[in-house]
Amino acid sequence: MDSIKNFINYKQKEIILLVKKLISIQSFSGQELMIADFIAKFIAEEEIKVIKQKHDQTNNVIVIIGKGEPTLIYNGHLDTVCPTAEMWKITKPLIPLEQDGKIFGLGSTDMKGALASLIFAAFYLKETDFQGKLILALTAKEEIDGSGTKAFLDYGVKKKIFTIQKTAALVAEATAMQMVSVGCRGSAFITIQVKGKGGHSANPDKTKNPIGKLAEIILDLPSFVADLGKNYKDEILPLPTATPTAFWSGVVSKGSEVLTTKKNSVPYLAEAIFDFRNTPRLTENNFEDFKKELNQFLKKFSADGFKITWDFTAKPGTGHKIDPNHDLIKLAKKTLEENLGRENIKIGFEQGSNDAAAFGNVGIPAVNKVGPGTIGVNHKADEYVEIKNILLATEFYIKFALNYFNHFGGKNVNPKN
């Protein structure tokens, strides 16, 4: 048995204990201070240098092991998505429970299990000789706007902690250690507003009903998205999608509470929110193509006097993509297959967006994701992670880092930059 496996066997109980401890600390997006403090203290006890980066309400933990170049950044996020506590059956969100080789609890898969694997991988590597620098970037607010990782990258460049040319990254999101992800689509949340003409609903011919018009738009949306798919498809990533997620009109509301509905009048306004998932090609010129296509599509609905406008509901996010033949991806696959003995490792993609986009946007090649989390259980009640995958991930993060420093020593990781 190799020394890495020995280390993981020896530390197994501590790793599992750390996963449970992390689950028990509430860390909704924007409220990561407590977990950041805990992790910083936990790591500092091993006499490792820890930087607590505070930026507005953002609390990141940065850990640096080794020195020189090349640099490898392991990225994990500290925040979780606020769950509906009543839906949990097996345990409560902040009460970790171990059962049948799994740990249940909020963030177990997304991604406190991965955080524990990264931290213990760093503990091992601290005692190991290698030429280069490993950085753990444990960041805030991934689930809302990715601003934690962006703040980390700004800080790292400014303080010259790494150079873009000699740095690569890996995001530790869930792949159940079965897949190496090479990209994800971007997201754009859009509000479309239709203004018509209100009036008494007994005389509908004297009104312009925005409800019907907005319904027409929604019904025609699949053809619009199909055209986008034809013109902007990506050879790796799935086609763009647009999903209506909210629709309202004719109601008087306060927040999410409906105060009254207007039963006998035609409203003048109808609104809907759409979740667009874009391929990188559609957004590579800072969403200009996307805006142009959407304006073109909406134009035909305003022919009979309706006023149709749209806006981004939140700042849109670009997608991420790395060439599946990039040495970094080959190295990740090889590490899983040859060093960990995993079979049938898939090269795939992520449907949703993740922090890998932030690395791509500054020119750092990134493995979109490899992590211990279970696929499909994130953001859901009774989220769980398999213990065997947490241990496998710890082994992977150690061996991949060593392979990386070996392979890229003295080379530019990203010769294009």
Residues of the shown chain interacting with Zn ion in the complex, contacts defined by CB under 5 A? 110-111
Report the nearest approach of Zn ion to the CB of residue 173 (Å). Answer: 5
Residue (114 or 217) nearer to Zn ion, CB: 114
Contact (CB, 8 A) for 364 and 73:
yes
Q: Which of 309, 386, 326, 363 is nearest to 164 (CA)?
A: 363
Report the nearest approach of Zn ion to the CB of residue 55 (Å). Answer: 20
**Interatomic CA distance for residues 188 and 311, integer angstroms:** 10
For residue 296, CA distances in Å to 272, 292, 300 come to 18, 6, 8
CA angle 345, 347, 353 (to 5 degrees): 125
Secondary structure class of 27 (helix, strand, coil): coil
**Interatomic CA distance for residues 371 and 392, integer angstroms:** 9
Residue (291 or 379) nearer to Zn ion, CB: 379
Report the nearest approach of Zn ion to the CB of residue 29 (Å). Answer: 11
In 10 A of CB 30, how many CB atoms? 18
Q: Are strands 265-266 and 179-184 parallel, antiparallel or unpaired?
A: unpaired
Residue (157 or 381) nearer to Zn ion, CB: 381
Residue (111 or 119) nearer to Zn ion, CB: 111
Residue (110 or 386) nearer to Zn ion, CB: 110
**Interatomic CA distance for residues 28 and 35, integer angstroms:** 10
Q: Which of 22, 10, 6, 2 is nearest to 118 (CA)?
A: 22
Report the nearest approach of Zn ion to the CB of residue 168 (Å). Answer: 20
**CB closest to Zn ion, residue no:** 110
Q: Look at the alpha carbons of 185, 186, 187, 190 in this order and tell me if their dihedral is positive or negative.
A: negative
Report the nearest approach of Zn ion to the CB of residue 379 (Å). Answer: 9
Q: What is the largest CA-CA distance in the chain?
A: 83
Residue (69 or 110) nearer to Zn ion, CB: 110
Report the nearest approach of Zn ion to the CB of residue 35 (Å). Answer: 14
Report the nearest approach of Zn ion to the CB of residue 363 (Å). Answer: 23
Residue (75 or 278) nearer to Zn ion, CB: 75
Can you read off the two tokens belonging to residue 270?
Answer: 């109808």
**Interatomic CA distance for residues 11 and 13, integer angstroms:** 6
Residue (350 or 395) nearer to Zn ion, CB: 350
Q: Please name the residues in contact with 100: beta carbons below 8 A apart, sequence gap of 6 or more.
A: none
Report the nearest approach of Zn ion to the CB of residue 371 (Å). Answer: 9
Report the nearest approach of Zn ion to the CB of residue 82 (Å). Answer: 14
**Interatomic CA distance for residues 22 and 29, integer angstroms:** 15
Contact (CB, 8 A) for 413 and 328:
yes
Q: Please name the residues in contact with 88: beta carbons below 8 A apart, sequence gap of 6 or more.
A: 381, 382
Can you read off the two tokens belonging to residue 229?
Answer: 């798919």
Report the nearest approach of Zn ion to the CB of residue 110 (Å). Answer: 4
